[in-house]
Amino acid sequence: MAELKKSLGLFQLLAFGVAGVIGTSWIYTNSKLMDAYGAGGMVFGLLLGVLLASFVALAYSELTSAFPRAGGEVVFSYTTMGRGPAFFTGWMLLGAYVSSLAFYVTAFGFLLSNFVPAMKTMPLYTINGETVYLPVLAVGVILTLLMFALNWFGVEIGGRVQMFMFAAIVLIGAALIVVGFASGSPSNFFPAYAEGTAPVSDTLRFIIPGMTFLAGFGLVAVLAEDAKISPKRVGRAVVLTVITAGLFYTAVLAATAWVMPWQDVAKMDLGTVSAFTEAGFPILGTGAYAIAFLGLLTSFLGLFVASSRIIVAMARGQLLPPSLAVINPKRQTPGRALIVTTVVTLALGWLGPGAVVWFLDTGGVYLGVVWFMVVIAKYLLPRKYPNAVRRSKLSFLPALGGLGAIGVIVWALVPGTSSSLVWPAEYIILGAWLLLGVVMYVFAASRRTIGYDEGLHEILGDSYANLHIDDASTETAKKEL
């Protein structure tokens, strides 16, 4: 059974995980968050959101330690719930990741146009009020092909690039944090809530949006088969990813509200960028913009790699055509899955942000569903395979994270929230994606040539032995007696 090359160390995994979580727009749109929730609601609500996300990560950690295989969430669902739930989980995850990848195709060029006006020349077409320009699209296509090239010959190449960009993000972020707190004042942050508002309410209202800041921490679980460290350390890396990314977010946002009165920042156009520029640190303002660029690139690379691994896992269980699970024997890379990821990214990316934002906004629903499925898998595993994992004394914590995952879903589906889907376009896209999933599942089922147990062997590989590890030890002991 061909496996992916084990080439990622702990720091490279964390770079994929943390840098994959740290996106782009939060650094220059946090003015709107301060205006809506106050500095206190944003920072303290985010911390509570990080706490709930870390509870979900505990479920990921336990399952990843037991089954360090490509595809993460797909593997967990297949093992504990069967084919249908596994396909549903993988399809939701692909929907979230591919939507982001398609958005990044033109997002980089549009972000670059703030410094290079020539990017917005030679208009091609307009969709949903957003014009796509030739230079913007050309840069996006080149960037997508670069992501493909970085992974075609081995994920370790992409891992090195990710490490470099991650280090740059951390260094710039550290400068923002140190200067923000050293030159700012507590009086800029406190009182942390707008006059006449309810502090507890503003904080609680930001918990669910805060959880979505952590979208993507499952990257570590998805890349577990690429890791050259022990499964237990891979599992711990999932939790460490959430904590590290969460603390980075909150520290930078708190420093933004510390360097200048947050009420003034709430009226600015570019959040952290404007705050540090107006406070007399234009270089750091530019540095904040650099985080936006680097965050986009790291997220693009991380989700690109992860999408191919999800496809591999689904194909191994014949939830997708099995040919997509083929691993190149020389490079030990999933060439066909990488090609499919590239084609789908470009096929949607050319639509531009005006249309792709409809797909992107549905991602909150997809990720909430996936997180909830992982929490369910964590509790089902010891029931189905009592000897597969050891029970934790804090086993109730993932359940609390599961409630947060449900909150993410409800927050998007119920009209009137800050993250509600746009009617009717985004509800139609959500329904269309689910319907397409049904068609794909039925098609794959009609061509399936292996049973559930054979698929379980393929998906788990050597980890299959972990399902009955204590049983095997018992049998060996009996024979010795």
| Per-residue pLDDT tens digits of the chain, which is 481 residues long | 588 999 999 999 999 999 989 988 899 999 999 999 999 999 999 999 999 999 999 999 999 999 999 999 999 999 999 999 999 999 999 999 999 999 999 999 999 998 899 999 999 999 988 899 999 999 999 999 999 999 998 899 999 999 999 999 999 999 999 999 999 999 999 999 999 999 999 999 999 989 989 988 999 999 999 999 999 999 999 999 999 999 999 999 999 999 999 999 999 999 999 999 999 999 999 999 999 999 999 999 999 999 999 999 999 999 999 999 999 998 999 999 999 999 999 999 999 988 888 888 899 899 999 999 999 999 999 999 988 876 666 789 999 999 999 999 999 999 988 778 988 989 999 999 999 999 999 999 999 999 999 999 999 999 999 887 554 444 443 343 3
pLDDT at res. 479? 44
Predicted structure pTM score: 0.94
Stated as kind and residue range, the H or E segment containing 133 is strand 130-133
Question: For 8, phi and psi rounded to 5 degrees?
Answer: -95, 125
Question: Is 1 a domain residue?
Answer: no
Question: Is 4 a domain residue?
Answer: no
Domain range for 209: 10-480
Number of domains in the chain: 1
CATH number of the domain where residue 131 is located? 1.20.1740.10
DSSP H helical ranges for 153-226: 155-183, 186-189, 199-205, 207-212, 219-222
Question: Is 120 a domain residue?
Answer: yes
DSSP H helical ranges for 282-334: 282-316
**CA–CA distance, 287 with 281 (Å, rounded to integer):** 10
Question: Is 430 a domain residue?
Answer: yes
**CA–CA distance, 5 with 159 (Å, rounded to integer):** 13
**CA–CA distance, 204 with 211 (Å, rounded to integer):** 12
Question: Is 386 a domain residue?
Answer: yes
Question: Is 5 a domain residue?
Answer: no
Respond yes or no on whether the N-terminal peptide bond of residue 329 is cis (omega within 30° of 0): no
Tokens 């039925």 sit on residue: 442
**CA–CA distance, 311 with 336 (Å, rounded to integer):** 9
Tokens of residue 437, six digits: 């999933």
Question: Is 349 a domain residue?
Answer: yes
**CA–CA distance, 370 with 101 (Å, rounded to integer):** 18
Question: Is 3 a domain residue?
Answer: no
Q: Tell me the one-letter amino acid at 87.
A: F
